[in-house]
Amino acid sequence: MANSSYRWVIVAAGGLLGCLAIGAMFSLPVFLLPISRDTGWSVTGVSSAMTIGFLAMAAGSMVWGSLSDRWGARPIAVVGSTILAGGLFLTSRATSLLEFQLIFGLVVGGATAAIFAPLMACVTGWFDTHRSLAVSLVSAGMGMAPITMSPLAAWLVTIHDWRTSLQIIAVLVAAVMIPVSLLIRPAPALQGATVTVADNGGPQSSMTVGQVVRSPQFIILLLTNFFCCATHSGPIFHTVSYAISCGIPMIAAVTIYSVEGLAGMGGRIAFGLLGDRFGAKRVLVLGLLAQAFGALAYFFVRELSAFYAVAALFGFIYAGVMPLYAVLARENFPLRMMGTVIGGTAMAGSLGMATGPVTGGLIYDTFASYGWLYISAWAIGIGAFLIAMTFKPFPQAQPELAPARG
């Protein structure tokens, strides 16, 4: 398996699928004002479709992940891509706000979840070496969405109405994602060999799903990912508003996101290389500590140049740590249930992401300032760091010694 060149095809396919899926879902912020102006629906009402989408991603992650353990990543990716394209098209035809919220939130959000966990699980099975780098490259592909799909959506909506633009994206999703999904293959370790041979060889290789989800290692991974995502969710969603409140013009403030996103691309690759060299847990723990202080750094900045510096650091770190959860999952749990495990961590991460927008809004409404948002993010980040410190990998199987001869 380690010598198979096809594993890099899996990485490329996973990155492309993730870019289109995440990009299609995150086109909503680009269409937000055009939709509101065209329909008369409130911005809050349209935005709530994204919150529903996050919750649907959380619920769908473990379901799709578990199904991929049973049927394989390829059929799940094909079905998810088809549903995603159909959901985007139906969303463009919505005639009421409730219909829009339910179709976009439940269908598009739920279908997006069918890509992340199954593909991450599949990629981890293809790699014995360079696993952290491979997972990070897939994540980097997903991170390309704001740089590629969002500008495409913005360009489309300048020459078409939002409904036509969304339909074009739906056609693009179907035309690209469905054929690319057919490139996905199960890891050679799961083809023909017994299931336990495909696993790590440790005591956990014979575990049932029930034993896995009740294990301290699984619970700690979920809690760490929840608090990790809760740490960066608020700063991601509210930093532009914070910058504007500091007197920075809106157009300039929006570019802070671009800096954060570009830095995140480098962070994914760098943390992947570091994880391969020094171990995923060690790099994750140090990254979580750095993320906490990166979030706190926003509290002290007021000028655009300082915002850029913190955004570059913060984006580099928070994007870099995210792929390491899949690596830790593969190192500690059976390959035959990777979809379930990674789906569980993705579910926890989506729930953590859902906390940031509403928490930041409540803090601002209460204190007329975002200061406590960044202090709270620092405290939550320290919590994620401390939880990760308690993670104890499963012991690996030791080779048996030959009996001594008398």
Decide: helix, strand or coil at residue 251: helix
DSSP string, 296-327: HHGGG--SHHHHHHHHHHHHHHHHHHTTHHHH
* Residues 214 and 141 occupy one common structural domain: no
Predicted confidence band of residue 127 (pLDDT cuts 50, 70, 90)? confident
Give the per-residue pLDDT at 217: 92
- What DSSP line would sit under 34-101, residue for residue? HHHHHH---HHHHHHHHHHHHHHHHHHHHHHHHHHHHH-HHHHHHHHHHHHHHHHHHHHT--SHHHHH
206 lies in the same domain as 326: yes
d(CA 1, CA 346): 26
Least confident of 4-18, 108-122, 126-140: 126-140
The CA distance from 225 to 220, in Å, is 8
Contacts of 255 (CB under 8 A, 6+ apart): none
What pLDDT is attached to residue 209? 82
**pLDDT higher at 204 or 160:** 160
Question: How large a percentage of the chain has pLDDT more than 70?
Answer: 92
Q: Containing domain of residue 10, as a range?
A: 1-184
Do 369 and 241 sit in the same domain of this protein? yes
Percent of all residues in the chain with a pLDDT value above 90, rounded to a whole number: 49
Q: How open is the CA angle 151-342-321, to the nearest 5 degrees? A: 60
In a domain, 404, yes or no: no
- Which one-letter amino acid corresponds to residue 58? A
Candidate from 69-78, 83-92, 93-102, 151-160 with smallest mean pLDDT: 151-160
Question: CATH number, domain at 263?
Answer: 1.20.1250.20
Give residue 397's pLDDT band: very low, low, confident or very high (50, 70, 90).
low
Measure Cα distances from 129 to 122, 170, 185, 272 in Å: 15, 37, 18, 12
Residue 177 sits in the same domain as residue 232: no
Any domain includes 153: yes
Q: Report how many domains make up the chain.
A: 2
Same domain, 71 and 166: yes
Do 217 and 141 lie in one domain? The reply is no
Position 190 in a domain: no
- Structure tokens belonging to residue 248: 């920075």
Question: Per the domain annotation, does 399 fall within a domain?
Answer: no
Interior angle at CA 225, CA 221 and CA 228, nearest 5: 140
Among residues 149, 193, 205, the alpha carbon closest in space to that of 17 is found at 149
Helix (H, G, I), strand (E, B) or coil at 204: helix
Same domain, 98 and 215: no
**Given 157, 184, 211, which residue is the final one in a domain?**
184
193 in any annotated domain: no
Backbone angles phi, psi at 381, to 5 degrees: -65, -40
Which residue from 351, 335, 352, 339 is spatially nearest to 114, judged by alpha carbons? 339
Residues 239 and 134 in one domain: no
140 and 246, same domain (yes or no): no
Q: Looking at the structure, do residues 142 and 279 belong to the same domain, yes or no? A: no
Question: Would residue 162 count as lying in a domain?
Answer: yes
Average pLDDT (245-266) is: 85
Convert the pLDDT of each residue in 76-89 to its tens digit. Answer: 999 999 999 999 99
122: its two tokens: 């599949």
**φ, ψ of residue 206 in degrees (nearest 5):** -100, 10
| 2 and 140 together in one domain | yes
Q: Which pLDDT band, with edges at 50, 70 and 90, does 153 fall under?
A: confident
The per-residue pLDDT of the chain, averaged, comes to: 87
Most confident of 11-20, 124-133, 192-201, 380-389: 380-389
Q: Are residues 352 and 381 in the same domain?
A: yes
Residues whose CB falls within 8 Å of the CB of residue 366, separated by 6 or more in sequence, listed in order: none
pLDDT score for 193? 43
Out of 151, 184, 217, a domain closes at: 184
